[in-house]
């Protein structure tokens, strides 16, 4: 029997800033436990930045021991260098999740917007406002990466609920 309370962490990967959001599902209630941005310093060599990000993700996973993780898929990019860096950061996040054997759901930005705002072409502000409303926060989560991490967590919550409901029918 699965435990009733579920902890879900969402990630919006980036090299300089990886947004994250931690939510708790308890029956019909969804609460925000923490959100923020995992940062790495621009002047530090890339291997050290990736190692720092990896350790920060491991620490966050250890702190909350999530039941599931949602992560945004790589989207874009005009700038190939930025795309490679984001891809490397995303890989480090995925490695930390995989080492803990935590189920991980990946979503496109369109899927996350659809889940949170009900419209796949919603703009950043609409998504942020919906995250604030759904989680009953006093203000829009800052920085933007943190709101995106919370949105990924909410998308994972919605997806896992749908998966459980469909498996109950079989």
Active site residues: 12, 72, 145
User: Which are the contacts of 65, defined by CB distance < 8 A and separation ≥ 6?
Assistant: 7
Query: What 3-state class would DSSP assign to 92?
Result: helix
Q: Which residues, in sequence order, are bridge partners of residue 134?
A: none
- Reading phi first (left if > 0) and then psi (alpha if -120 to 50, else beta), residue 35 is in beta
Can you tell me which residue has the tokens 């935590």? 102
Task: Annotate 106-128 with b (16+ C-beta within 10 A) or e (fewer).
Answer: ebebebbbbbbbeeeebeeeebb
């Amino acid at each position: 029997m699965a435990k009733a309370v579920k902890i879900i962490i969402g990630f919006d990967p980036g090299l300089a800033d990886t947004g994250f959001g931690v939510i708790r599902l308890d029956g019909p209630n969804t609460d925000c436990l923490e959100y923020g941005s995992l940062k790495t310093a621009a002047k530090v060599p890339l291997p050290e930045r990736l190692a720092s990000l990896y350790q920060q993700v491991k620490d966050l996973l250890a702190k909350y021991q999530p039941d599931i993780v949602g992560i945004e898929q790589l989207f874009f990019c005009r700038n190939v260098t930025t795309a490679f860096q984001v891809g490397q950061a995303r890989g480090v996040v995925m490695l930390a999740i995989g080492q803990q054997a935590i189920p991980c759901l990946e979503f496109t930005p369109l899927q996350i917007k659809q889940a949170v705002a009900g419209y796949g072409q919603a703009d950043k502000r609409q998504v942020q406002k919906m995250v604030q409303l759904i989680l009953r926060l006093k203000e829009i989560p800052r920085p933007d990466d943190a709101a995106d991490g919370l949105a990924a967590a909410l998308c994972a919550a919605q997806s896992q609920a749908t998966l459980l409901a469909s498996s109950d029918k079989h």
